[in-house]
Amino acid sequence: MEDKINLSKYVKLWWMMTSMVSQNAFVSRFGAVLFVLGKLIRFVFFLFFLLIIVSRTQAIVGYTLWQVILFYITFNFIDSLAQFFLREVYRFRSYVVTGDFDYFLTKPIPVLFRLLFGGSDVLDIPIMLLSAGFITVALSKIGSISPAEIFIYFALLINGFLIALAFHVFVLSIGILTSEVDNTLWLFRDLTQMGRFPIDIYQNPLRSVITFIIPVGVMVTFPAKAAMGLLSAQSVIFAFIIGIFFLFISYKFWNFSLKRYTSASS
């Protein structure tokens, strides 16, 4: 309730923390350049890979080249968006190990906010922008997309980000309980990258698992499908329900873990 009124305060905090972290990133310019370069290379190479496959086989499960590209770029955009905003989660383990985490608990900022958004890294932006640019290109190339479909596409992108957010909250919660952060985080990344291709390539039961239980499919594939008009209205509503549901239970789980942690001694 107070949070709503103080939204601008949080935005301001986020902006400050982001600029501090980003300045840090430039301390080693060499490393910064290599990172951005590496991600760029990966992005370009994978696009090239898709190009090769589709050019040789005409289609992947019935999707044309630009449709396949849209799937990949949608994945990439959400992936890099999540990494940009939630970069701080990657540092969580070091906070737990060094004991800095306990300091966070004593500061007048909601711990979750600090842990999620406290370290956005400017270095993630280039890929984000590139993906965004490619999305526009892909959408125009596919053609015959109605404004309504575009709207749903972006709405589902945001929904996808919320699911990613929920995942990260889960990772943090598990991290507090078990000190095991990096592996769960990377597990999440690996599951997400299953969405580089339309999830139609996976057979059931796997497909159902990544649609309903670990909703990677909803996160990444659904938006693209909606843009192509392949998603029924029920599925769209279902997607939003899943998004909100996941966010909700992840938050509940977080509160549970935090209570557990603060009642035990470190």
Residues of the shown chain interacting with another protein in the complex, contacts defined by CB under 8 A: 28-32, 34-35, 37-39, 41-42, 45, 49, 52-53, 56-57, 60-61, 180, 183-184, 186-187, 190-191, 193-194, 196-197, 200-203, 206
Please list, residue by residue across 219-257, b when 16 or more beta carbons sit within 10 angstroms of its beta carbon and e when fewer do. Answer: bbbbbbbbbbebbeeeebebbbebbeebbeebbebbeeb
Least distance (Å) between residue 75 CB and another protein: 12
Pick the closer one to another protein by CB: 97 or 148. Answer: 97
Pairwise CA distance, residues 192 & 218, whole Å: 11
Pairwise CA distance, residues 98 & 100, whole Å: 6
Least distance (Å) between residue 99 CB and another protein: 16
Least distance (Å) between residue 121 CB and another protein: 13
Least distance (Å) between residue 180 CB and another protein: 7
Pick the closer one to another protein by CB: 50 or 111. Answer: 50
Pairwise CA distance, residues 171 & 182, whole Å: 9
Pick the closer one to another protein by CB: 100 or 180. Answer: 180
Pick the closer one to another protein by CB: 89 or 139. Answer: 89
Pick the closer one to another protein by CB: 59 or 105. Answer: 59
Least distance (Å) between residue 150 CB and another protein: 28
Please list, residue by residue across 200-215, b when 16 or more beta carbons sit within 10 angstroms of its beta carbon and e when fewer do. Answer: bebeeeeeeebbeebb
